[in-house]
Amino acid sequence: MSKSVAYKHLVRALSLWPKDRLRPDCQLQDILLARAKKTFVPVSSAIGAPAPAINERAELENANALYSLLDNRYALRYQPRKNLLMRPASNPDHYNDIIEEIDAAPTRGMFGRIKNRLSGLLRFS
């Protein structure tokens, strides 16, 4: 039995999906791949009931939505004016600081983590 076209597209789109650095133990692609396997792989039943029909068109639309998110189609089409969303007037570097912190966290040693925790507790203004 060959896999359907929609299943192949979903698996390919999920293989291209970036890993979540903030929550490495809970990945979106793992959850969606488990859903795709549950949908497309028929469960053999002892009763012999036929497997439920798969809406191939809807699954292809889901795969197309994943591809469009991967290509940043919506971010490019609906750009906020002058990128004001990512640079608020009150703290323009807020999101850049968060991204730098997430990038630095996996390589930080034990003393670096303790230093950051203590500096977060003690704030001098």
DSSP string, 6-32: HHHHHHHHHHHSPP-SS-TTS-HHHHH
Render pLDDT for 31-55 as a digit per residue (tens, 0 to 9). Answer: 999 998 888 877 665 566 666 778 8
pTM over the 0.85 mark? no
Is the pLDDT at 70 greater than 90, yes or no? Answer: yes
The predicted model gives 20-25 an average pLDDT of: 83
Tokens 């003393």 belong to residue:
111
Q: Is the dihedral of CA 66, 69, 71, 73 positive or negative?
A: positive
Render pLDDT for 97-119 as a digit per residue (tens, 0 to 9). Answer: 998 988 888 888 999 889 888 88
Residue 10 burial by CB count (10 A; 0-12/13-18/19+): exposed, middle or buried? buried
Specify the length of the chain in residues: 125
Distance CA 70, CA 79 (A): 16
